[in-house]
Each structure stands twice: as structure tokens, then as C-alpha cells.
Amino acid sequence: MVDPIEIALREDLGDGDVTTDFFVSKNQQAMARIVARERAILAGTETAAEVFRRADSALEITVVRNDGSEINPDESIIEVRGAARAILKAERVALNFLQRLSGIATMTREFVEAAANQHVKILDTRKTTPGLRAFEKAAVVAGGGHNHRFGLFDMVMLKDNHLATAADFDGFAKSVRKFRESHPDIQIEIEADTLEQVHAFLEIDGIDVILLDNMTPAQIREAIALGKDKVKFEASGGVTLKNVRQIAATGVDYISIGALTHSPRAIDLSLELTPLAP
């Protein structure tokens, strides 16, 4: 199984930290704290703590603020005490995880608050950093969002390219019904680019969710009116902080946003180290 933390540490350390190993005594002890430099929503604390544990299992690590917490400038997030060499070797990897995952949580919270609608779930997508999907999806949850499917294995998602391979609509509809019969516990979602497609898909038994791709709020409302109480509806495409409230107000059940995981800004965090007397 892929271990992102191990990969990240190996990538950074290589054959050893030539700076720390030469300039810092192996007996030097230190206390360090990771602090916020800006307001944000926190995520990745246990991941960062595990980075320090991997560097040296003897380090004393205290997670001061948990995932989902709102942090402000100069607040401590994690405190570490022990060998200065180990702290320095783990510093950048721990911060990289914490800054990116907190960026995802912060952006997610911004969308949740901008939507201002408790009946709408803000969803992530599979547009994640390769190898870091589990961490990034956990960060979305820390920010108040919800996870869409984790991968290709846990939900049917029929998009335009899948539909393009279908020989005819009747055969496609038959395949959907056959899958539903053989896999009753797996959700089926299908992408619609037009209201005409929504009409057609509503005639197929077994579909759970229709994804309304790049539709206007007016089109979304019309689609929901057509399928009210028949299926759930998800809006996707072109969703921003400026228009998410308008989209949420249509009555849609879900809004999926790829930017949550593919375009977050890293949160400004830093590690402050204080040497301890022998």
C-alpha cells in the first residue's frame, strides 16, 4: 500500500540532511511549535504529527488545535519537544502537508458559508493530488464539506464520454437497469448537459442522481421541477464563491467543486524552534 508520508520523507531526506547533520549537535534538544500566520480552518494535524513520529519516535508531540478548528495568527497548532535534529528534518514535510490540507479545509469552509444553505451539500471531486486523495478528502470534511465518490470503484458515474460509447439509448437504458438489479447497493449517477437529456434520463429506472453540468440557475430549477421526488440533483461546473449561493438557492441537493482540491492556496504556517539548555 502506498504510504504518502514515507514517500514524502524519503523524497526530502534522500541520503541524509547534510545541513542539520553537520551544523546541529546530535545531543541538542529543542522545543518547537507550529504557528499560524493567518486566519484559516485547520486540517492535517494528525498527518503532520505522524511525520514527526516517523522522524523520531522519541519526540513528544502535542496537537494543540484539532482539524476543523478556526485558527488565528500566532496561535499554536502543534508543539514538539525532543532532538533538534529530528525536528528540523521533519519540519518541511510536516508543514507541506499541514499548509496544503488547511488550504483545502479553508476553501471548503468559504464555499459552505457562501452557499448559506444547510440543505445543500458541498462536495469534492476526484481532482486530487495523486497519492494524497484520502488526506485531501478528509480536509474537505474538516472544512464542513462532504465527500463524493472516493474512486472509480465505489459509485457509478456515467459521464459524457461513457455515453458516447453507447450504441443506442435503449441499449444504454437496459444496461442501467441490469446494473441496478445486480448491484442494488451501488449508487448510480449520470451527467446531463441539456434539459433534453434530463427528460430522457428520468425515464430510466434505477438512476439515483443526475449531475447538471454547467447549467444556469434557471435551467437547474427547471430540471429539478421535472424530477422532483424522483432523483437527487447535483450541480457542477463553473461554481465560484460569487455564484454558489445563487446555485444553492435553486433547490439542488449537491454542488460539486473541483477547485476544493485542485486549486487551494497553501495556508501560511511556520515552525518556531527554541534550543533547550543541556
Q: What are phi and psi of 124, to 5 degrees?
A: -90, -175
Residue with cell 474512486: 151
Cα Rg of the chain, angstroms: 23
Catalytic residue selected from 81, 92, 149, 180: 92
Q: What cell was used for 204?
A: 430510466
Distance of CA 173 to the CA centre of its chain: 33
In the chain, the amino acid numbered 159 is: K
Catalytic residue selected from 17, 91, 191, 234: 191
Catalytic residue selected from 26, 39, 159, 174: 159
Catalytic residue selected from 127, 180, 221, 232: 127
Provide the 10 A C-beta neighbour count for residue 145: 26
191 is catalytic: yes
Catalytic residue selected from 67, 91, 213, 234: 213
Q: What cell was used for 45?
A: 494535524
- 88 contacts 274 by C-beta, under 8 angstroms: no
Concatenate the DSSP letters of all residues of 202-265 into one string: TTSTT--EEEEET--HHHHHHHHHHHTTTSEEEEESS--TTTHHHHHTTT-SEEE-THHHHSPP
230 is catalytic: no
149 is catalytic: no
Map residue 8 onto helix, strand or coil: helix
Q: Which of 63, 206, 50, 41 is nearest to 108 (CA)?
A: 41
Residue with cell 478528502: 137
Catalytic residues: 92, 127, 159, 191, 213
